[in-house]
Amino acid sequence: MSKQTADSISIIVPFFNEKDNVAPLVQRMHEVLADFALPWELILVDDGSTDATLEQLHAQRQHFGTHITVVGLQRNFGQTAAMQAGMDQARGSLLVTLDGDLQNDPADIPGMVEELQQRRLDLLVGWRRQRRDTLILRRIPSRIANRLIRKVTGVNLHDYGCSLKVYRASVMRKVRLYGEMHRFIPAWVATTVPPARIGERVVHHNERFSGESKYGISRAFRVILDLLFMWFFMRFRARPGHFFGSIGLFSGTLGSLILLWLGVDKFLFGNDIGTRPLLLVGVVLVIAAIQLLTTGLLAEMLARIYYESANRTAYLIREPDSDEPRVWYTKTASPPDMPQG
């Protein structure tokens, strides 16, 4: 991210083939934020659109002024990458993201910013309680996905998929977005801050003004795969050997018991075990255990490289509220007042 300005807002809007929505959204943004108390900037990211979206973004910058920044990606990298590109250009102490299809209402931004500051939150997520989407293709799959994500991540929100969110930039500097992680931003933020500092607020949701939705029922399969990775990363990022090792130990113990029993059956009771399927099962379980334990060791080595190569730590410290320097206590220093009794 760029150098921050204290008490300021950077609003990030990704676009992909939304040429007819650009002008109405930017106009609406200036209408609702004309008397906003804090300074703000607007970062418009074109995610490799194949229509005239990029040209429309530049036209709006020329019309409204240089507080608008246009970022054009060379090809379509996806919504997550577009959000990260906008965050990298942001200068504000608070970040706001929303979709460029006008279904998120910019009028919700001032209230969300105020609530985040009053409640001293690090992330405030919009909740589209009254969604203006189709029931079968959008709302029902979304409800199922939200319930599953809540269960797996432990972050209790009603609407993970709402792009309208307000973040503290200091927190998002510790989170990098890849792949299609925008669906799990609250969960990723929960890896750096307590879930109690993540809240939600009911926001408006409008019907699509123009253009076509970029989401379909096929995204449900990608959500499941991303959720499995999210679950693994949240629990075993610093100790992946525990995940592979526990499965390997279980597999090895079960396989060893099977082979031990077959050995007793062979050498004590004289039964033929060469054609028994249980022999193959025992051998496969032992081999799988060796592979899993080896994978766990390699994963532990990679985790150490991950933390040590870039001087990362396994913990994160909140930014201090005071910039007062640290000092040493000496005999000549005046002792603090001691409590009586």
pLDDT tens readout for residues 196-220 = 899 999 999 888 766 566 555 556 6
Instruction: Provide the pLDDT for residue 176.
Output: 81
Q: At what angle do helices 219-236 and 140-153 cross, to 10 degrees?
A: 10
Rounded Cα–Cα distance for residues 296 and 95 (Å):
38
Structure tokens at 201: 């607020």
Burial degree of 331 (CB within 10 A; 0-12, 13-18, 19+): exposed
Regarding the domain delimited by 5-236, which CATH topology (the fold level of the hierarchy) does it fall under? Spore Coat Polysaccharide Biosynthesis Protein SpsA; Chain A (3.90.550)
Instruction: Provide the pLDDT for residue 98.
Output: 95
Instruction: Provide the pLDDT for residue 324.
Output: 67
Instruction: Provide the pLDDT for residue 310.
Output: 63
Distant-in-sequence, close-in-space partners of 84: CB < 8 Å, separation ≥ 6: 176, 177, 178
Q: Are 176 and 72 in contact (CB under 8 A)?
A: no
Q: What are phi and psi of 124, to 5 degrees?
A: -125, 125
Instruction: Provide the pLDDT for residue 319.
Output: 61
| Whole-model pTM over 0.85 | no
Break the chain into its structural domains and give their ranges: 5-236, 240-309
Residues of the chain with pLDDT under 70: 1-6, 132-141, 209-220, 307, 310-324, 326-327, 329-341
